[in-house]
Chains A and B, each alone.
Chain A
Amino acid sequence: MNIWTIMTGELRRLLRSRTWMLNMILLPIVLIFLLGASLSGVVGGGSPETVNPVKVAIVNTAGQAQVQSAMLDAFLKSDEVQRFIIPVEVQNRGEAESGLRTGKYGYAVIVPQEFDRDIQSGVHAELEFILGKNHSDNTAAGAVFDNFLSEINYKQAAALTLGPEALAAVQPVLTEQPAVQLGNLNNGGKDYTASQFYAASMLLMFLLYSGLTVTGSLFSERENHTLFRINSMPVKGSQLFIGKMLGVGLLTGVQCAAIIFFTDVLFGVYWGNRPWLLMVFCLLMIIASMMLSILACMLCQTSEQATSAVNFLTVAMTFMSGGMLPLPDSWVNSVGAFTVNHWELQAMIKMMLHSGFEQLLPNLLVMSAICLVLISGVVFTYRKVGYQ
């Protein structure tokens, strides 16, 4: 009965706080929206109008117009290339280099003497590229010129093997479909998009952040000296503690459900085909996050320190599980495996991809084990330290 009273009291206190509502429900949705909107350009493969053509300095070491590379010339004049590249003829290498340093050009190509003749006679021929100041310009211009060279390379190989007359007979190949398709990782069900990955990792980060509610709740009672008053009531310490945790846990569950619901409705994030199992995993995550913050509260003296500790844990674990930035894969599976997020994230992705239950089982077992260890840790420290 006492537990019930304390729980409803806690719920009422939290629900009355507008900041809490803002923080815990609005913020994740805003973040997932930001993620989705910012990365949508990447998802769509970049629409053509956003491509800024790169200014490329072309240096003909031969000098005179008649020995210039006709092949390169024809290539640079084609419409397809002009969308990406603005070629600028430059007198010599020094001028190109200084232009690159000041940012006048984004990329430079040095054409050696008799480039065309070397290719036709089948000897080694190479262009020199000089990289500029902007990483994405380098990638874009590099890709264009690499394509140009590789096309010549295959043609030359064909000419060397089949004889030059074979090239004359080549019809331009019209393709109807891209040579590479994006595979469906799914085992049936809806299409998986990469933004789902970030939605899941953000949800987990917020479930960890909800531990801040625990620290707030435990320390406010102590700092406002209301804990003394409660202690003068016929309430056991454990009852108070359990009641508080139930209240916070219940609200966190609601928060989690709200995030999943709103992201599904507003942004079309698909959360998988096993709602019950998703609930179980969320519950385990909530337990883990709460237990971690209770431990932080009991081991720290002031609320500020406990808050810092929870913050630190949250960011560190999200980061190490690869949820924030792409990390090297060796990291994700070695160090990342020591974080709660790792197991949860994988389970959620597997659910989104409709993996079989047997693939989810290891994650479930590991999470349950983690929760058990944490709960026993909390019980142990509660016996030792208590909540006074």
Chain B
Amino acid sequence: MSKIWTIGWNMVKRTIGSRRGLLLHIFLPGIVIAGIISITGGSDNSSSGTVLYTNLDNGPGGRHLLAELKGTGEYELAERSDEQAVKKSVIGQEGVAGLLIPQDYTAQLLDGREPQLTVYELKITEDSVLLKLKAEAIARQMLVTAATVKGAGSDDQAVRFAAILQQAEQHNVSSIKTDYDLYPRQTLGVITGMTLMFLMSLVTSSVNQIMDDRRGRTMMRMYSAPVRAYEITLGNFCGSFLVGLIQIAVVLILGKWVLRYDYEVPMLLYFLVLAAFMFVSMGIAATVAGLIRNPRNAGMLNALILTPTCMLGGCFWPISIMPEYMQKAANFTPQKWAIQAVDIAATGGGWNELWLPFAVLGLMAAILLALGSATLRPNEAGVSA
């Protein structure tokens, strides 16, 4: 046992013992993740998306549409002079989407025609999709209203139309939304995803040290001491796991107590989820490292696994928006289960629900670590290329 501990402790010292190592492996990732947390987490509730618009209509219809959009409180409206200017600003990523109200929009509505609004988007985001739906709903109601005014058959249609819209802006029939904060915050998934991604890449670097040992023939020298292969393997795993735990702790402490991001999850549970994920990614890294003999290539191949699994596992966007078959494939990634565990915990689920993701993570870790230690074969010094 003490031998395992010695090897593990040596691993920790080598990775983060020096000032440079401490900076590179602990503080830098901590600061990066904390930065991401504060950017994405900060944008959560306060800032609203900017909508760039140009209103070529001079009737009440266009005005009403803009007033209603503004009234939702979800958008900030910024005017541009004409269609070209809107397009240019959208391409320049100055806002989430662009909106064009065509010329004579109101007149066409009252004429019984169906004028179309135009929405411009550079990339699909939730904001731009919602804007489209909202504008569509308001436009449809205006169409119905215009038909009603026409049906009433009075002479001063434009004035009456304007009066109805003005009355509608009062929102005499409305709703109040009671929000008990039951749903996990939208950014929590992304933040967890990003943290997972960084953790996974950090683990890679500590497993690379095992490879370095083998390449530098240090492993051979270790055998001249009375240690067994399994002790070396276990010691190395313990060491990199310890480093990982320190990394997780630093990231969480920075996020929770320095940047004051509210994780909505008990910290201990969050820590446990990340630690379980850490085990799995150690297994993945070890397996890959065992299969690839050249340590430099092992690092690259890890990247080959890291980014696709992160995408598939829902680190960058919610899994629910992906097509069915992709969601099934996502079940094979550890990220999906870790995020699910955090999700369950954030909505207040207990261990009766939490056991499943933890069990899956544990199983994955067991299989991969077994595979990893079988293929890592510390007693072989094999280096090729």
Contacts and interface: CB of A to CB of B under 8 A. Distances in A.
Nearest to B40: A325
B303 interface: yes
Given A304-B205, A305-B24, A333-B94, A179 B136 contact: yes
A43 B144 contact: no
A96 B191 CA distance: 31
Given A126-B174, A185-B91, A179 B122 contact: no
Given A41-B322, A135-B186, A308-B24, A156 B172 contact: yes
B368 to A, nearest CB: 20
Contact of B28 (A151, A303, A312): A312
A368 interface: no
Contacts of A301: 20
Contacts of A134: 183
A346 B323 contact: no
Interface stretch (B163-171, B274-282, B359-367): B163-171
B6 interface: no
A14 to B, nearest CB: 11
Q: How large is the interface on A (under 10, 10 to 19, 20 to 34, 35 or more residues)?
A: 35 or more
A180 B136 contact: yes
A185 B90 contact: yes
Contact of B50 (A40, A166, A329): A329
A14 B148 CA distance: 73
Contacts of A129: 175-178
Contact of A34 (B301, B312, B324): B312
Residue of B121, B129, B170, B183 contacting most chain A CB atoms (<10 Å): B183
Interface in B307-349: 307-308, 311-312, 316-318, 320-324, 326, 347-348
B32 interface: yes
A154 interface: yes
Nearest to B166: A157
A183 B183 contact: no
Nearest to B292: A19
Given A131-B183, A308-B24, A157 B124 contact: no
Contacts, number: 286
B139 interface: yes
Nearest to A201: B123
Interface residues of B, number: 105
Nearest to A110: B178
Nearest to B20: A305
A197 B139 contact: no
Contact of A350 (B91, B95, B385): B91
A279 interface: no
B299 interface: yes
A314 to B, nearest CB: 10
Interface string B257-277: 000000000000000000000
A226 interface: no
A77 interface: no
Contact of A131 (B118, B140, B179, B201): B179
Interface in A265-307: 301, 303-305, 307
Contact of B91 (A135, A158, A346): A346
Contact of B160 (A131, A153, A154, A161): A161
A178 interface: yes
Interface in B4-22: 20
Nearest to A308: B24
B304 interface: yes
Contacts of A331: 39, 43
A153 B174 CA distance: 7
A133 B345 CA distance: 12
A304 B124 contact: no
A231 interface: no
Interface string B276-308: 000000000000000010101101110110011
Given A150-B138, A312-B28, 8 more contacts: A100-B182, A103-B347, A153-B171, A157-B167, A180-B136, A197-B123, A311-B201, A349-B122
25 contacts: A19-B301, A20-B297, A20-B300, A27-B307, A34-B311, A124-B174, A131-B179, A143-B133, A146-B137, A153-B168, A154-B142, A157-B165, A161-B164, A170-B147, A173-B144, A179-B116, A180-B132, A185-B122, A198-B123, A212-B300, A308-B24, A312-B28, A327-B39, A328-B47, A332-B93
Interface of B: 20, 24, 28, 32, 36, 39-40, 43, 47, 49-50, 87-88, 90-96, 98, 100, 114, 116-125, 127, 129-130, 132-133, 135-145, 147-149, 151-152, 154, 160, 163-165, 167-168, 170-180, 182-184, 186, 190, 201, 205, 208, 292, 294, 296-297, 299-301, 303-304, 307-308, 311-312, 316-318, 320-324, 326, 347-348, 385
Interface of A: 17, 19-20, 22-23, 26-27, 30-31, 34-35, 37-43, 50, 97, 100-101, 103, 119, 122-136, 138-139, 142-143, 145-147, 149-154, 156-158, 160-162, 166-167, 169-171, 173, 175-183, 185, 194, 197-198, 209, 212, 216, 220, 301, 303-305, 307-308, 311-312, 315-316, 319, 322, 324-333, 346, 349-350, 353, 355, 359
